[in-house]
A and B are shown apart, each in its own frame.
Chain A
Amino acid sequence: MKNPFVMECGNYKTSYRKDMELFRNPRVKIRMLVIVILLFLFPLFASNYVIGLATLAAIAVIGAIGLNILTGFTGQISVGVGAFLAVGGYASAILTSTLGWSFWISLPTAGLITAIIGGLFGIPSLRLKGLYLAIATLAAQVIILWIIGRWKSLTGGGSGMILSRPTVGEFSFQSHNSYYYLVLVIAVLTTIYALNLFRTRTGRAFLAVRDRDVAAQIMGINLFSYKVMSFAISSFIVGIAGALLAHYTMIVTVELYSMQVSIQYLAMILVGGLGSVFGAILGAIFITLLPVALGYMVEFLTIFLPDAHAILSSFRQFVFGLVIILFLIFEPGGLVHIWNNIKNYFRLWPFSY
């Protein structure tokens, strides 16, 4: 059989324009198209349960791409994703349930509101870096959730708010499949946007800020505006993910957006691969499905150890933690690095010398 990886042989770039193309060659374009088509055909042969999980994973993909723009590409650590998801969710809840707006206007508006609030919390990023910035975004997490929990007239306080699924005319996105398609379309659009962002002037400025901000400033990049812009763009996407999640669960409460959620999203981009859109996608799917896979494992093991529910339950959390630690030690580049290694290995196989 012809090695599928060596088909890229003789594929030379002869102009800068070609070097900048989103798809390296026509085959990559076809491959991407096939994957997207398969994702759209997916509900035809999957059970409701799998589609439900895929919907949750797709929402996580949107959020993880948003966070990766900030942390992976611009190098600004954020521990406040949970709170920005909450802002998106609550904004959409207030706009649709309290003010009676249409979902289709509320969704981008919720993104904009999150972008403004995210931008505000991005202001300290000019002076703060690394751990200091992490603590500042941690403050965002605490402050935002504190306000949401106590501003009862607006947010319903501890009992949260109820939302409904979006509608188009008579059609409601109530079924598993319809909501999956809605989320998938937005996830695909987000992916395309993020991939293109890093081919633009703004995206390149983000990369420069990440790699060495002093050098970037000397080159004429306005650090302050680009850092705040990165916070705003990232928060916009995270806000959209928050709104989608809120309309999926049809309820928003403070406890949905705890610190744990922020850490899960950080884990997604770390495990997937910092600074890679593909990595964010892989990581989001991996972290969303890991507890499910471990649940299956526990279920399987209880056949042999029927009375060990409690032990196995905590064992599941132990494995979850262990997987993340092992990733950070043995593959800090994340899943996307593993994938690239596999590709590179086969590129010259079997004559890899």
Chain B
Amino acid sequence: MLVSLVLFLGLLAACGGGNSDPEPSGDAGTNAPEATGDKVIKLGGLFDESGATGDVGAPYAEGERAFFEYINSKGGIDGYEIDFIGEDYAYDTSRAQQVYQALRDRHEVVAVLGWGTADTEALRKQIINDEIPFVSASYSENLKDTGSESGYNFLLAASYSDQGRAILEWINENHEGDSTPRVALVYHEGHPFSESPIQDIKDYAASELAGKVEITPDILIELGDTDPQVTLQSWSRTNEEPDYTIINYTWGQTRNVVRDAKALGWGTQFMGLNWTAGEGLIPSGAENQQWVDVLDGYIGVVTHAFPTEDLPGMAPILEYLESKGRTVDDINQKFVQGWATASIMAEAVSIAIAETDGNVTGPDIKAAIESISNFQLAGLGADVSFASDNHAGTDQIRLGQLKDGEWMMITDYFGIGDY
């Protein structure tokens, strides 16, 4: 009995001891926070670098880390160093819960930069309780609510629903021919991310574009279905092929759908939301040319700039890359997206520091974000504005089209607010 008691106490001591240790230096990418005494502000990060969406999640996380490393090398924000403590949760919602608890209780961060739709939605009630603002890479319309459901969530780009509505407006304006354009929505039913904008897009078509755009029956393909040809074929047995599609997946499944639809002879103009667009849609390697041919003419929503674009906002990124001995070829559009997201958070931190003389808390950051008006990203993304009753920074998007494997912008920033 004694031994078991001693073992048990030892276990407890180990648990307790591990956590009463002085805070670790956190993200190794940043400088040691001890160096500047107590002028440190802690921000948390939830990344997917090795999970189901790691293809886009890893460069996004790298962009966020790079931004804070860059800003710290410039002396931090108003003299305050940012300790950006991030962890990979591998797109596992229950792991996200654990990581979030660690960020909240162990590291006591004042705000979190998150990632996926499912985990962001799963945490939205807790962050209200804990008063920790949460900026996610999910642009789900569910997170727009500013009240009791998701009052501490912020969207830094156009919501998926706004992206879909904007596509409908673009189709309405640019459709050639006399017939009503027929638009098919392609998604995974029951999947929080993929299904998120569908009902809003349908409602918008019914209320604003009745008679101008026709929504066909949905094309339901699961994210894990790597051979969607059968589903497409049975769909086309009872329906005519659509003039346009709005696809909401990430890169891998988008290209499967386009490939199989083209194999069935569809002449559809394929279009998709922001996670379908980007360099990774066309894989490199031996099969590259095959995908360049299949995806030629694909149109995607581009919320943030490509690193190859000549924009004033790229200057600090280039400076950072140069200091690391890297070039723009080593990063992609999702890196820029992560960088831009982090820079908006940095603006909020700067405002909060000015308002509070440095003792920044979660509600201060929330108030700071809500006071941001027309913050310019110098081309890296659409300008954002927030208010206490508006947590969606913008509804502006661009559309890009693939030509010979290269993304070309076919519109300037526009949004449903313009219609």
B-binding residues in A (CB < 8 A): 4-5, 7, 27, 30-31, 34-35, 38, 42, 45-50, 52-53, 56, 145-146, 148-150, 157-160, 162-163, 174, 176, 249-251, 253-256, 258, 260-261, 264, 291-292, 295-296, 299, 302-303, 306-307, 309-310, 313-314, 316-317, 346
Contacts and interface: CB of A to CB of B under 8 A. Distances in A.
Nearest to A261: B94
Contact of B190 (A49, A150, A251, A314): A150
A299 to B, nearest CB: 6
A50 B16 contact: yes
A50 B58 contact: no
B108 to A, nearest CB: 9
B5 A149 contact: no
Contacts of A47: 16, 19-20, 105-106
A306 B29 contact: yes
17 contacts: A4-B3, A38-B9, A52-B101, A56-B98, A149-B191, A157-B190, A163-B125, A256-B118, A256-B122, A264-B94, A292-B102, A295-B87, A295-B102, A302-B27, A309-B49, A309-B88, A310-B49
A53 B16 CA distance: 12
A157 B50 contact: no
Interface in B42-62: 49-50, 58, 61
B272 to A, nearest CB: 18
A328 B142 CA distance: 43
B142 A313 contact: no
Contacts of A56: 97-98, 101
Contact of A253 (B49, B87, B104, B122): B122
A174 B129 contact: yes
Contacts of B195: 157-158
A149 B190 contact: yes
User: Chain B binding site: helix, strand, loop or mixed by DSSP?
Assistant: helix
B121 A302 contact: no
B100 to A, nearest CB: 9
Contacts of B121: 159-160, 251, 253
Interface string B272-307: 000000000000000000000000000000000000
B50 A313 contact: yes
B1 interface: yes
A34 B125 CA distance: 36
Nearest to A148: B190
A313 B90 contact: yes
B189 interface: yes
A159 B93 contact: no
A295 B196 CA distance: 31
B192 interface: yes
Contact of A250 (B3, B4, B126): B126
A281 to B, nearest CB: 13
User: Chain A binding site: helix, strand, loop or mixed by DSSP?
Assistant: helix
Interface in B1-54: 1-5, 8-9, 12, 15-16, 18-20, 24-25, 27-29, 49-50
Given A253-B93, A255-B93, A291 B1 contact: no
Contact of A291 (B28, B95, B106): B95
B124 A251 contact: yes
B203 interface: no
Contacts of A260: 92
Given A50-B16, A250-B129, A251-B123, 6 more contacts: A49-B104, A162-B125, A176-B105, A253-B192, A306-B28, A310-B88
B58 A310 contact: yes
A316 B51 CA distance: 12
Contacts of B106: 47, 49
A299 B125 CA distance: 28
A249 to B, nearest CB: 6
Contacts of A264: 94
B149 interface: yes
A-B complex: 5 closest residue pairs judged by Cβ atoms: A149-B190, A49-B105, A255-B118, A313-B88, A250-B125
Interface in B192-239: 192-196
B55 to A, nearest CB: 12
A4 B3 CA distance: 7
A50 B90 contact: no
Contacts of A176: 105
A48 B97 CA distance: 14
Contacts of B92: 260
A268 B356 CA distance: 47
Given A159-B196, A310-B49, A249 B97 contact: yes
Contacts of B98: 53, 56, 291-292
A48 B105 contact: yes
A27 B126 contact: no
Given A31-B4, A46-B16, A306-B28, A158 B190 contact: yes
B40 to A, nearest CB: 17
A307 B69 CA distance: 12
Contacts of B27: 302
B125 A53 contact: no
A249 B101 contact: no
A150 B88 contact: no
B229 to A, nearest CB: 22
Contact of A53 (B9, B101, B129, B190): B101
Given A158-B196, A250-B126, A256 B5 contact: no
Contacts of A149: 189-191
Contacts of A31: 1, 4-5
A299 B4 CA distance: 31
A42 B2 contact: no
Given A50-B19, A309-B88, A317-B50, A255 B101 contact: no
A51 to B, nearest CB: 8
A302 to B, nearest CB: 4
Contact of B189 (A5, A52, A150): A150
Contact of B1 (A7, A174, A302): A7
Given A47-B106, A251-B121, A313-B90, A38 B97 contact: no
Contacts of B65: 309
A23 to B, nearest CB: 12
B151 to A, nearest CB: 12
Contacts of A250: 125-126, 129
Nearest to A52: B101
B178 to A, nearest CB: 36
A257 B64 CA distance: 29
Given A35-B8, A47-B106, A303 B196 contact: no
Nearest to A51: B105
A47 B124 CA distance: 23
A145 B122 CA distance: 16
A315 to B, nearest CB: 9
Contacts of A53: 98, 101
Contact of B15 (A4, A46, A145, A253): A46
Contacts of A261: 94
A314 B91 CA distance: 12
A2 to B, nearest CB: 9
